Homo-oligomer: A and B are copies of this chain.
C-alpha cells in the first residue's frame, strides 16, 4: 500500500486498493455485468467507498454480486462506470496498488505509470441489490457445496418452456441434504447425510449456481440464506443474491426404479472411450448407441449409420442377472459417467424400456438415471 497519498480537493471518492484484490473482484462480477443491456446502467459496475472499505457491485436484475474490499478510503462516495472498460483496463495493469479518484463523474484509475480517466454515471440510478434478511440460514463447507453442484448441475434443462427444470432442486430435510436436476430425459441426484440445522426446499437457477462456483473461490465455508423469493450466498469477501425459480419441482422420486434384474459393473473410462467412439457413427441422428450386456462378462457397445458405416467395441464387465440389450442417447450416458469421480460404476437395468440407473462405486448417495431409446 502506498502510504503517501495526499487528499485531493473537491473529489467525490478517493481510495487506494491492493491491485490483485481489485482484479479478483472484477473477475468475480464479470459475467453478471452485461455489455449490452437495454437498461444502460446495468452495463456498469458500481464502486462504493465508505468507512468499511470499498464495495464492487454488479447486477443483471436476476443475479446481484457484491465484493467487499478493504482499502484505504480517503473520501467516501460512489460512482458507476462501464464494466467492460474497467475490467479490461484493470486486467492490463501491473503493480501493487491502484488508486481510484472520482470527480465530476469521471473515475481516474492510476497504477504505476498508467493513468486512465473513465467516463462514469452517478450511482443514484443503480438498482439496489436486495438482501435476504429473514430466511432459513445454514452454513455449508465449500467442498461439500462444490461436490453437490458438480454432481447434478450438468443435468438441468436448457429449455425455458418448463422453468422449474432449468434449476437445481435442493432439499434439506430430516437430517439429509439432497439435490436433483433433470431435463426429463435423464436425472442426476445426490443425497448426503448432512444435517444443516434448518429445513427448506428451493429451486435455484443453474446460471446462479455457475456464478456461485466461480465466486466461492477460496472461501472455506459458504453461508446460504433461503428467503421467500430470493436466495443469498455469503462468501468470505463477497455475496451473491439471486431470484428463486417459482413452482413445484416434479415428484422425481417416483421414476427412480426400486428393483432391477440385471446389474453390470465396469470401468468408467473404458465405457466412456467406447461410447465416444461409437458416437462418431451415430451423430446427426439421435446419437443412438446400443449396449449389449453379455452373460460372458462384457458390454458390446455398437452404433450404425446407413451413410457412414458401423462400429462396435467390447468393454469387460461383471454381469449379474439376465443379459439384455438397451439403446441410449450416448451423450446422456457420457454426461453422467463424466460427472463421476470414481474408477468403477454399476449400471442397473430392468429390460429395454425401463430407465437405466448408474451408480458410481464408492461414492454414496449418488445416482444418475437415463431413459432408454427405442432401438
Contact = CB atoms under 8 A, between A and B. Distances in A.
Interface string A103-115: 0001000000111
A28 interface: no
A119 B309 contact: yes
A309 B273 contact: no
A301 to B, nearest CB: 9
Interface stretch (A18-26, A85-93, A252-260, A338-346): A85-93
B273 A311 contact: no
Nearest to A300: B113
Copies of this chain per assembly: 2
Contacts of A276: 92
B92 A308 contact: no
A94 B309 contact: no
B313 A88 contact: no
B114 A280 contact: no
A10 interface: no
B314 A113 contact: yes
Interface in A242-288: 273-274, 276-277, 280-281
Contacts of A312: 114-116
Contact of A92 (B113, B115, B273): B273
B277 A93 contact: yes
A28 to B, nearest CB: 20
A85 B273 contact: no
Closest CB pairs A-B (n = 7): A92-B277, A114-B313, A113-B314, A118-B309, A116-B311, A88-B280, A117-B309
10 contacts: A85-B280, A89-B280, A89-B311, A93-B277, A113-B315, A114-B274, A114-B312, A115-B312, A116-B309, A117-B310
